[in-house]
Amino acid sequence: MGTGKVMGKAMRISTTISADPVIQYADDGPAEVVTEFNSGTITNENNDLMASVVADLLGHTLLVVVIIAKADDNPPYCRVGWVESRILNNVRSYVGQVYMRVKYSPPGKDLQTKGQSITFTGATLNGTIMLNADREYERHKDFTTLNEAIAYIDKLLNVGGEIPELTVTTVPTNAATGVALDADVVATFSNVIDHGSAALFNATTYEPVEFSSSFDGTKKILTVSPTENLTASTKYLFVLTGVVDAYNQALEDKAITFTTGTGG
């Protein structure tokens, strides 16, 4: 098992375990019955799946942000885990759950156009649960805090024992000058981003600047590309609001300014 990664926010997880009884007969009757794990299935439905994670789980090739699936791709064995939140007698607790050996299969797709109401869909992966070399198929433990539960599964999944702090750096940096008129604004986050908003304005008139934006395959690098060249010798304002990472941490709203060059 290599370095662990965040798969995404779970919308639904379903597991099915098959356990077959083994019966020992003596004196023409059953004397002992042992029920042993046989196999299992797991279905993960996430709000989104990063291209890099899908490529890793299914053994595909990732070329920039394009996934190339080949007939002879062999999905690797992996561990998969999550944190369950529970409330009993008005007391909240958390369960760290890890399945020790899973192999996922390529997902199917079921798409439809929007009808009278909005339907939210996610990304679904189906896998097979197996025994590992120690004949274990799952581990779980109860905790009183979310951070303890995350630390438990992160250790088993080789992610790290603590929730990493959410930070961001930008290019151009704050107060930068002489920025090229055709430059993009690139925001690099320390963690995988779940959602948030970006905006670009003329810092003098506060007129919005039209742009297209995209994340890379890791969902950590946001590139904002103005649809037209920026105006020379002009101050601009770039704003990030409502940014939340895969650990449900919120980034404090961030604003930077930069000034373009003369364009000569």
Q: What is the pLDDT of residue 258?
A: 97
pLDDT exceeds 70 at position 218: yes
Alpha carbon of residue 27 to chain centroid: 57
Average pLDDT, the chain: 84
DSSP string, 150-217: HHHHHHHTTS-SSPPPP-EEEESPTTEEEE-TT--EEEEESS-EEEEEEEEEETTT-PBPPEEEEE-T
Position 39 scores a pLDDT of 83
Cα(99)–Cα(94) distance, integer angstroms: 17
Phi, psi of 136 (to 5 degrees): -105, 145
Percentage of residues of the chain with pLDDT beyond 90: 38
pLDDT of amino acid 23: 72
Instruction: Report the chain's C-alpha Rg in angstroms.
Output: 24
Banded model confidence at residue 38, pLDDT cuts 50, 70, 90: confident
Tokens of 113: 């156009």
- Judged by DSSP in three states, 51 sits in helix
DSSP type of residue 147: H
pLDDT given for residue 34 in this prediction:
72
The band of 202, judged by pLDDT with boundaries at 50, 70 and 90, is very high
| Interval 130-148: pLDDT, tens | 988 888 899 999 999 988 9
Higher pLDDT, 161 or 129: 129
The pLDDT value recorded for residue 116 is 55
CA-based diameter of the chain, in Å?
Answer: 99
pLDDT of residue 6: 76
Give the residue among 141, 107, 100, 135 at the shortest CA–CA distance from 121.
Answer: 107
Q: How far apart are CA 81 and CA 65, in angstroms?
A: 25
What is the CATH code of the structural domain delimited by 168-260?
2.60.40.1220
pLDDT for residue 45: 79
Q: How far is CA 207 from CA 3, 61, 196, 199, in A?
A: 44, 42, 21, 11
Q: Are strands 254-260 and 176-179 parallel, antiparallel or unpaired?
A: parallel
List the domain boundaries for the chain. 10-156, 168-260
The per-residue pLDDT for 164 is 79
Is 90's pLDDT higher than 70? yes
Q: Is the dihedral of CA 221, 222, 227, 231 positive or negative?
A: negative
- Please work out, in degrees rounded to the nearest 5, the angle formed at the alpha carbon of residue 187 by the alpha carbons of 252 and 68: 125
